[in-house]
């Protein structure tokens, strides 16, 4: 039998096969979290003029060097006003953000001056040097410089840069339309009466939460019984209306695990079935006839959540053209023993340790159905097969919930 792919191999297979989401133009105010599809270049030099950085007075350094300490206040230069020239021998009152008045080359902060009628007396100990308290034109960037590359996720700093480039809209990858579909005859919606042999439908809420916390908002949900006919009919509809399907349950080897076969019959090409990991080994991934990304997550709640974080999230990022970031390394804060012949996903709680800094404390569950142990954990680390004991300080990639 062919060896199962490792988690890293499975992730890269998924990244390579997810189709790219279309590109659309959206207004600036709607872009938080979106992924840029085109380069953004500087509209102008930044700052676009020699900019005053302190409230005070602008003078010519030459006058100071010649021994002048008292300056007539010839007027005021506020932010947003066109530049006024400095009359010789005088000063202009200037405000933070104003243009440095032509003829002046230095700003003395208000704390260093005493106003006496129309004159400013400058503290003789003031530091007066050319371009003191001035942010000179083009210091931060030049007109036409590349400010943001395609594949950049737009957070707060990037949005400020976009706005400063004068762009009211930007071209970004469209938000994916995601369907979360749980399967299983045993599952009962919270709020509905339940029998002892039935189970609450909890996965869909965890999966939706993990996606919502990452900014994915176009999510619809459905629940399907373990009936191949109904499964086929409804999955066909979901494929028509979504870019991404996230299914939970029905992908294992049981007699009622109809998901992989049904998807194949609907023209979804299987790319991956099963990964060398615990929990979450039965993971299924395929690509639909119109390029839909279809994830079949195992139904056990710990498995479905780790698979969402480990595979669906990177898949969604790749679909948006987002450049992959290296995983976040973290050191184990306590030794952990396990007998893994597969990669082991260990839930952890982050803590700070005086010598090791941020560490991960093992919080193993009692199997893949034990999601009650997960609250309070921050995510999971990925331990490679091999040693039976991972010592304190062992560094592993962290995946946050
Ligand atoms: P399956 O992958 O369908 O074989 O399901 C494996 C286990 O996970 C079974 O015990 C299911 O009852 C449970 N399970 C499946 N789907 C969910 C769900 N949406 N919420 C909670 N438990 C589930
Ligand atoms: Mg099932």
Bond into 47 cis (ω within 30): yes
Residue 55: pLDDT over 90: yes
Residue 2: pLDDT over 80: no
* Contact in structure between 244 and 314 (CB atoms under 8 Å): no
| Pocket flag, ligand 1, residue 249 (CB < 6 Å) | yes
Quick one: average pLDDT of 95-109?
98
* Three-class SS state of 311: helix
Q: What is the mean pLDDT of the chain?
A: 96
Quick one: average pLDDT of 273-278?
97
What is the pLDDT at residue 1? 59
pTM of the complete model: 0.89
Indicate the DSSP class of residue 159: H
Q: How do residues 212-237 score in pLDDT, each as one tens digit?
A: 999 999 999 999 999 999 999 999 99
**Which atom in ligand 1 lies closest to the alpha carbon of residue 248?**
16
Q: How do residues 357-375 score in pLDDT, each as one tens digit?
A: 999 999 999 999 999 999 9
Bond into 22 cis (ω within 30): no
Instruction: Assign 3-class secondary structure to 202-250.
Output: CHHHHHHHHHHHCCCCCEEEEEECCCHHHHHHHHHHHHHHCCEEEEECC
Residue 386: pLDDT over 90: no
What is the pLDDT at residue 324? 83
Query: Rounded to the nearest 10 degrees, how much is the dihedral formed by the CA atoms of 332, 338, 339, 341?
Result: -50
What is the pLDDT at residue 95? 98
Residues 6 or more apart whose Cβ sits within 8 Å of residue 123? 112, 113, 114
- The gap between the terminal CA atoms of the chain, to the nearest Å, is 33
Q: Report the residue count for the chain.
A: 401
Quick one: average pLDDT of 158-175?
97
Quick one: average pLDDT of 150-154?
94
Q: How do residues 180-205 score in pLDDT, each as one tens digit?
A: 999 999 999 999 999 999 999 999 99
What distances in angstroms separate CA 94 from CA 41, 51, 61, 63, one per listed residue?
Answer: 31, 10, 15, 18
- Percentage of residues of the chain with pLDDT beyond 90: 95
Neighbours of ion ligand 2 (CB under 5 A): 184, 249-250, 299
Instruction: Give 248 Cα–ligand 2 centroid separation in angstroms.
Output: 8
| Pocket flag, ligand 1, residue 182 (CB < 6 Å) | yes
| Pocket flag, ligand 1, residue 262 (CB < 6 Å) | no
Residue 72: pLDDT over 70: yes
Instruction: Give 274 Cα–ligand 1 centroid separation in angstroms.
Output: 17
| Pocket flag, ligand 1, residue 7 (CB < 6 Å) | no
Quick one: average pLDDT of 19-47?
96
Instruction: Give 244 Cα–ligand 1 centroid separation in angstroms.
Output: 20
- Percentage of residues of the chain with pLDDT beyond 70: 100
Q: Which of 334, 383, 390 is nearest to 362 (CA)?
A: 334
Instruction: Give 227 Cα–ligand 2 centroid separation in angstroms.
Output: 11
Quick one: average pLDDT of 321-344?
91
Which residue in the block uniquely carries the two structure tokens 């279309």?
Answer: 22
Residue 317: pLDDT over 70: yes
pLDDT band with cut points at 50, 70 and 90 for residue 341 = confident
């Amino acid at each position: 039998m062919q060896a199962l792919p490792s988690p890293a191999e499975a992730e890269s297979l998924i990244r390579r096969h997810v189709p790219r989401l279309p590109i659309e133009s959206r207004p600036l105010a709607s872009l938080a979290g979106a992924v840029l599809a085109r380069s953004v270049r500087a509209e102008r030099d930044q700052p676009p003029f020699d900019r005053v950085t302190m409230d005070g007075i602008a003078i010519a350094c030459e006058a100071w060097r010649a021994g002048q300490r008292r300056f007539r206040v010839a007027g005021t230069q506020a932010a947003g006003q066109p530049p006024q020239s400095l009359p010789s021998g005088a000063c202009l009152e200037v405000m933070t953000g104003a243009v440095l008045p032509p003829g002046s080359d230095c700003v003395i902060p208000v704390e260093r001056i005493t106003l006496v009628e129309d004159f400013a007396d400058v503290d003789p100990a003031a530091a007066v040097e050319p371009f003191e308290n001035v942010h000179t034109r083009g210091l931060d960037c030049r007109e036409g410089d590349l400010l943001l590359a395609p594949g950049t996720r737009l957070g707060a700093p990037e949005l400020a840069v976009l706005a400063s480039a004068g762009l009211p809209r930007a071209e970004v990858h469209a938000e994916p339309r995601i369907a979360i579909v749980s399967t299983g005859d045993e599952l009962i919606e919270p709020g509905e009466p339940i029998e002892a042999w039935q189970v609450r439908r909890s996965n869909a809420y965890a999966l939706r939460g993990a996606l919502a916390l990452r900014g994915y908002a176009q999510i619809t949900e459905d629940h399907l019984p373990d009936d191949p006919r109904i499964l086929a009919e409804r999955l066909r509809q979901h494929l028509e209306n979504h870019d991404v399907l996230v299914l939970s349950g029905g992908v294992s080897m049981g007699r009622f695990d109809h998901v992989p076969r049904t998807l194949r019959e609907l023209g979804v090409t299987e790319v991956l079935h099963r990964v060398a990991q615990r929990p979450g080994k039965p993971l299924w991934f395929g690509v639909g006839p119109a390029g839909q990304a279809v994830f079949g997550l195992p139904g056990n709640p710990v498995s479905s959540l780790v698979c969402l974080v480990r595979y669906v999230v990177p898949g969604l990022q790749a679909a948006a053209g987002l450049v992959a970031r290296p995983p976040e390394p973290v050191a184990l804060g306590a030794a952990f023993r396990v007998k893994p012949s597969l990669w082991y996903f260990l839930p952890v709680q982050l803590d700070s340790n005086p010598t090791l800094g941020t560490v991960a404390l093992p919080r193993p569950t009692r199997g893949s159905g034990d999601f009650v142990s997960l609250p309070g954990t921050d995510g999971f680390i990925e331990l490679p097969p091999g040693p039976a004991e991972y010592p304190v300080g062992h560094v592993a990639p962290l995946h946050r919930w």
